[in-house]
Structure formats: structure tokens, C-alpha cells
Amino acid sequence: MDIPRYRKIQNMLKSKIQQGSYGVGDHLPSENQLCSIFNITRTTARKALEELQKEGFIERIKGKGSIVRERRKSLGLLNVKGFSEAVGRNVSTIFLQEPALRPWITGFPFPLTDSERQSPCIHFERLRTVGEDPVMLENNWFSGKTLPGFLQSGFEEDSFFKTLSKKYMIEIKGSEQELKALPANEKVSRLLKVKPSGPVLQISIRFTTCNPEFFIYSELICNTMKYPIGNRYFL
């Protein structure tokens, strides 16, 4: 395998947290316990836990241990992950435009690379709802050359990011975001059930991936009145 050992352990612990095997406030195995369980050194065990801390799943306290954090109810952790990892369960998604080859839009706040400009992009548009409430209008664009067969096959587990990871081995490495409060235009107002010119939050994101020439561009327009956007950061 070329997946590092710390990442396997990190992913295993993450699934256990997401599935509820570890609840909020629970202690994960300590560094030394991980060492003996997996036959690794503390450096490797630490790395797995540090990554989980960076992702916001746990808090690490000297003398105490690694403790599962409370996940706030807001549309959280927009930093890197997609929608479904962020909120609870009663989330649904409607495709307004199915994935297809389309020209790049202009006016996006991040510059495209030369190689991206040379050919059209794959684009799709989705409306995300929580219960009965439409909450977010989401557009995604990326170079059409990098993901062969993307238009033919569907999403894995309805998740764009899981599809990238499982089918194309593309992992998100980071993101740049730009936040703007805007008045809703007619379309946004209708779809998100905001009154005309009512305030909506526009989040423009450029995701960087393990392929240094492949970026994903997203624009999220959010009705934050009922579901504010949550966000955590650790040093």
C-alpha cells in the first residue's frame, strides 16, 4: 500500500467517531495504547491523532487524553469537507443541473490555470436542503480532462468528494475561500426561499488536491438565517 500507516489509523478512528462508537466526551485510545495495538511508534500514533485534531474531531489535552469533540448543529466544518459530512442526517440533495461539459464561467474570484482554460469544464449544480428547508445552492466546476468517465458513472454514496477519493484517488489537501454577503437575486431568492434582495452568504472555494494541477472550484450560496455556517480552527 502507499497509504501511510498513520492515515489508516486516522481513518479508522474517524469512522468510529462518525458511526458513534466513540461519542462526544469519550476518550480515544492514548498514544501508548495505539502504539501497542498497532505495533507502531509514538511518532506514528501521534501523527494520526494530530490529524484528527486538525480536522476538528478531537481535542487533545495534556495529562488527560484525546477527547471526542462536540459537533455543533450548524452547517459545520465547511473548511474542507462537503455537505454531508457537515450536518446531521435529514439532508437531501436535488440536482438542478446534472454533471455535463460546459464552458467555464467568468468572474470567479480565483484565477484559472492555462491548462484549465484550454478545454471546457465539468459542471453541476445542486440544491441542498435540511428537512424542508432549502439551505444551500451549490455549483461545482473542474477541469474535464482529469476525471475520465466521470460523466458516465454516478456518485458514490451520493458524495462528490467520496467519489473523487474512491474512484480517482483524489484527496482534498486544502482550500482557499472567499466570503461575501450579497443580496439574493431572483433565482436565489426563489430557490432558497429568501425574500428578494434578502442577504445570503456566498462562499467561493478553490480546493487544492493531491494532484497539484487539479483544482475544484465551488460556489455556495447559503441561506444562513436558520442554519448559520460553522467553522473551527486549531493551531
Distance in Å from the first CA to the final CA of the chain: 31
Instruction: Give the bridge partners for 101, in sequence order.
Output: 122
- The correct pick among 18, 21, 30, 185 for binding DNA (CB under 7 A) is 30
Which cell numbers in the block locate residue 233? 480552527
Residue 198 contacts a second copy per CB under 8 A: yes
Looking at the Cβ atoms of 64 and 226, the one nearer to DNA is 64
Residue 31 contacts DNA per CB under 7 A: yes
- The correct pick among 113, 179, 190, 196 for binding a second copy (CB under 8 A) is 179
| DSSP per residue, 211-228 | STT-EEEEEEEE-TTTSP
Decide which of DNA, a second copy, none touches 47; Cβ closer than 5 to 8 Å per partner kind. Answer: DNA
Q: Which residues of 131-153 are buried (b: 16+ CB within 10 A; e: fewer)?
A: eeebbbbbbbbbbbebbeebeee
Instruction: Give the bridge partners for 206, in sequence order.
Output: 176, 217
Alpha helices in 56-113 (DSSP H): none
Decide which of DNA, a second copy, none touches 31; Cβ closer than 5 to 8 Å per partner kind. Answer: DNA
Q: Is 202 exposed, middle or buried (0-12, 13-18, 19+ CB in 10 A)?
A: middle
Residue 211 contacts a second copy per CB under 8 A: no
User: Would you call 192 helix, strand, or coil by DSSP?
Assistant: helix
Decide which of DNA, a second copy, none touches 46; Cβ closer than 5 to 8 Å per partner kind. Answer: DNA
- The correct pick among 13, 14, 17, 49 for binding DNA (CB under 7 A) is 49
Site for DNA (CB under 7 A): how many residues? Answer: 26
Residue 88 contacts a second copy per CB under 8 A: no
Q: Are 96 and 138 in contact (CB under 8 A)?
A: no
Q: Where do contacts with a second copy occur on this chain (CB under 8 A)? A: 43, 51, 54-55, 61, 72, 74, 79-80, 109, 172-183, 197-201, 212, 222, 224-225, 228-235
Q: Where do contacts with DNA occur on this chain (CB under 7 A)? A: 4-7, 28, 30-33, 39-44, 46-47, 49-50, 60-66
